[in-house]
Amino acid sequence: MSDLTVKDNWVVTMDYSLHVEGELVDSSQGHDPLDFIQGIGNIIPGLESKLYGMKIGDSKKVVVSAADGYGDLHEEAFVDVPRGQFPGQIPLEVGTEIQVRDEQGNPMAARIAGVSEQAIKLDFNHPLAGKELHFDVTIVGLREATEEEMAHGHVHHGHEH
Ligand code: ZN
């Protein structure tokens, strides 16, 4: 249909699914496809680097190591918090996602990684840190990014900035 291929500073529109440890964890199915500007780090580097040269309609499986995905697990991102600091309504179960605020008041996402009588262990790692990522991608659109999109570093859909 055309000889357009994925290259830097082009807007790529892509259907994708992501499997981790055999489980589907994310997919564009039932949503709009993902769009992003190639070459400026809109998506994880281990996936971005494998897309060059793909054409509209091309599909590919891409395996991304943890280091090239969401990073390795960091021990220092596990923090023990005294039980007394938790509001009573939070279910204190392993796996529960909670939001806490750092010293500047910025919201941070964490998961409960352990529960003991004295303390709750929180995990501030990205949920996909330390995981190998298995993507299936299909390129569904390609166009040059506008100057404004390049200045902002993200794709515009005609209304938002
Ligand atoms: Zn913008």
Cβ(18)–Cβ(26) under 8 Å?
yes
Tell me the pLDDT band of 159, cut-offs 50, 70 and 90: low
Cβ(49)–Cβ(38) under 8 Å?
no
Amino acid at 85: Q
pLDDT at 88 over 80: no
Spacing, Cα 15 to ligand 1 middle (Å): 22
Tokens of 108: 């941070």
**In CATH, 75-123 is 2.30.30.790:** no
Query: CA of 101: how far to CAs of 61, 66, 118, 124, in Å?
Result: 38, 27, 21, 12
Spacing, Cα 157 to ligand 1 middle (Å): 9
Rg over alpha carbons for the chain, rounded to the nearest Å, is 20
pLDDT at 2 over 80: no
Spacing, Cα 160 to ligand 1 middle (Å): 7
Spacing, Cα 158 to ligand 1 middle (Å): 10
pLDDT at 1 over 60: no
Give residue-wise pLDDT tens across range 100-118.
888 898 998 999 999 998 9
H/E element, 150: helix 147-152
Give residue-wise pLDDT tens across range 121-146.
999 999 899 999 999 999 999 999 99
Cβ(144)–Cβ(12) under 8 Å?
no
State the architecture of 10-70+129-152 in CATH terms: Roll (3.10)
Instruction: Write down the pLDDT at residue 87.
Output: 74
Instruction: Write down the pLDDT at residue 10.
Output: 97
Residues with CB under 5 A from ligand 1 (ion): 152, 161
Spacing, Cα 141 to ligand 1 middle (Å): 20
Whole-model pTM: value is 0.79
Instruction: Write down the pLDDT at residue 90.
Output: 75
Domain boundaries, the chain: 10-70+129-152, 75-123
Instruction: Write down the pLDDT at residue 49.
Output: 97
